[in-house]
């Protein structure tokens, strides 16, 4: 990664959601600790996959990184503004107005594009609206039309779709519209939050391949969020595994899948049926409930479910350190390198 250019540097990022007080006499404010001390570098041109069970804080990380949620603590430095001479922009310090300048650079693609597509607008209007909001429209309407049709073509949408409404499309095509709307803004970075989870398996690979083509053609960087380990393996250059608001392991994809260091990653990978291709690979695999993010366990947050846990795991939070080159994990008892691949 040495020759790669940093795009984001995330340090000690926290996002807590305060819970409403149950009664007016309640003194203590309880928080949902959705993200705890996230440290992550994102490099230009890579796809960083984020995987973990439901509720572990994946979407919160994507949204806090994009400043759609205000971080509770920590920093998100952005290195993608060429006008600063290499100095990072401290995104967490920007006002909503100041952030507007960078919104165009950083897009979010959702799981359910339908809810984010205005049902009363045609595809052409939907894409135009984004361009207008970012002052990207040309004074010549013909040029705008040509641009919109070229983006639609890149996203696999036929030109005659331009006058159609979202309800006239299938789920996969709607996702293409959502992607076209984002890509039209010529962003640098896209957070794709479960973009294929609601789609049939046959359509999933088409959308993933579209994202990969767009990444190649536009030099994009992705954060790809999914609970599906196969999808994450296919699309990601590096993978971060999250558990209860924390990134517990981070490595390049091949290393992580072949030889995980963290027991949670090992458990995720080993519980997956690799022979039954039709089996839905959901991440509901471990014994025991996930503890509450309102009152997470002390020490290592995974100790209540970990088969390797010892006394220190219950008392001391393990540091997130580099165990092998480029392979980070937070565990007191890191797993040894494997002879045979797990996944
Ligand atoms: N706006 C919010 N207000 C309060 N709590 C929230 C909010 N958004 C998320 N949470 C809580 O934060 C935790 C992390 O949620 P998040 O949506 O980031 O998880 P996730 O990994 O994306 O889950 P999923 O796989 O189900 O999408 C959960 O306990 C969730 O209930
Ligand atoms: S620190 Fe201990 S409890 Fe946590 S994952 Fe490692 S071995 Fe398991
Ligand atoms: Mg989510």
pLDDT in tens, 256-285: 999 999 999 999 998 765 444 444 444 445
Using the 8-state DSSP alphabet, how is residue 139 labeled? Answer: S
Kindly give the interhelix angle for 123-133 and 171-183, rounded to the nearest 10 degrees: 30
Which is higher by pLDDT, 101 or 285? Answer: 101
Per-residue pLDDT reduced to its tens digit, 202-261: 899 999 999 999 999 999 999 999 999 999 999 999 999 999 999 999 999 999 999 999
pLDDT at 138 over 90: yes
Verify whether ligand 2 is closer than 6 Å to residue 308 (CB atom).
yes
Q: Which of 9-13, 198-202, 310-314, 320-324 has the lowest mean pLDDT?
A: 198-202
pLDDT cut 70: percent of the chain above it: 94
CA angle at 95 for the pair 93 and 101, rounded to the nearest 5°:
100
Whole-model pTM over 0.85: yes
Q: Whose CA is nearest to atom 10 of ligand 1?
A: 34
C-alpha 170/C-alpha 161 separation (Å) is 12
Verify whether ligand 1 is closer than 6 Å to residue 69 (CB atom).
no
Q: In the structure encoding, which two tokens stand for residue 189, read together? A: 């970075």
Q: Whose CA is nearest to atom 3 of ligand 1?
A: 17
Q: In the structure encoding, which two tokens stand for residue 79, read together? A: 């290195």
> How far from 164 is each of 8, 76, 91, 124, CA to CA, in Å?
37, 39, 37, 8
- Which ligand 2 atom is the nearest neighbour of the CA of 308? 7
- Which ligand 1 atom is the nearest neighbour of the CA of 225? 22
Q: In the structure encoding, which two tokens stand for residue 145, read together? A: 């039309």
Which is higher by pLDDT, 26 or 197? Answer: 197
Q: Is 290 in a helix, a strand, or coil? A: coil
Instruction: Please state, as a whole number, how many other Cβ atoms lie within 10 Å of the Cβ of residue 149.
Output: 17
- Which ligand 2 atom is the nearest neighbour of the CA of 264? 5
Ligand 1 centroid to 64 CA: how many Å? 12
Verify whether ligand 2 is closer than 6 Å to residue 333 (CB atom).
yes
pLDDT at 6 over 50: yes
Please measure the distance between the N-terminal and C-terminal CA atoms of the chain and give it in whole angstroms.
24
C-alpha 75/C-alpha 90 separation (Å) is 7
Verify whether ligand 1 is closer than 6 Å to residue 59 (CB atom).
yes
pLDDT band (50, 70, 90) for residue 28:
confident
Verify whether ligand 2 is closer than 6 Å to residue 306 (CB atom).
yes
- For the CA of 227, the nearest ligand: 1
Task: Read off the pLDDT of each residue in 88-105 and give the average, rounded to a whole number.
Answer: 95
Q: In the structure encoding, which two tokens stand for residue 47, read together? A: 């796809």
Contact 156, 210 (CB under 8 A): yes
Q: How far is CA 57 from the centre of its chain?
A: 10
């Amino acid at each position: 990664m040495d020759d790669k250019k940093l795009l984001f540097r995330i340090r000690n990022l926290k996002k807590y959601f305060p819970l409403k007080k149950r009664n007016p006499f309640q003194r203590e404010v309880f928080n949902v600790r959705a993200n705890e001390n996230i440290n992550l570098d994102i490099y230009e041109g890579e796809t960083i996959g984020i995987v973990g069970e439901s509720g572990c804080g994946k979407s919160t990380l994507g949204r806090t990184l994009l400043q759609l949620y205000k971080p509770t603590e920590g920093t998100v430095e952005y290195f993608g503004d060429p006008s600063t001479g290499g100095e990072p922009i401290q995104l967490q310090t920007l006002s909503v107005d100041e952030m507007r300048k960078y919104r165009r650079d950083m897009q979010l693609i959702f799981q359910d594009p339908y809810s984010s597509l205005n049902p009363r607008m045609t595809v052409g209007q939907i894409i135009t609206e984004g361009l207008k909001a970012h002052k990207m429209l040309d004074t010549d309407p013909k040029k705008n039309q040509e641009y919109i049709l070229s983006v639609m073509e890149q996203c696999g949408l036929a030109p005659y779709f331009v006058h159609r409404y979202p309800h006239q499309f299938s789920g996969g095509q709607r996702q293409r519209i959502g992607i076209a709307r984002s890509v039209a803004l010529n962003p640098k970075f896209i957070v794709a939050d479960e973009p294929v989870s609601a789609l049939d398996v046959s359509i999933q690979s088409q959308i993933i391949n579209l994202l990969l083509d767009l990444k190649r053609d536009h030099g994009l960087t992705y954060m790809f969020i999914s609970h599906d380990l196969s999808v994450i393996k296919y699309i990601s250059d590096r993978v971060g595994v999250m558990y209860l608001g924390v990134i517990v392991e981070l490595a390049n994809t091949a290393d992580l899948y072949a030889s995980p260091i963290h027991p949670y990653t090992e458990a995720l990978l080993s519980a997956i049926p690799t022979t039954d291709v039709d089996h839905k690979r959901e991440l509901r695999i471990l014994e025991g409930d996930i503890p509450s993010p309102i009152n997470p366990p002390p020490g290592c947050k995974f100790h209540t479910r970990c088969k390797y846990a010892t006394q220190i795991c219950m008392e001391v939070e393990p540091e997130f350190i580099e165990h092998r080159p480029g392979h980070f994990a937070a565990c007191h008892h890191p797993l040894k390198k494997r002879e045979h691949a797990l996944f």
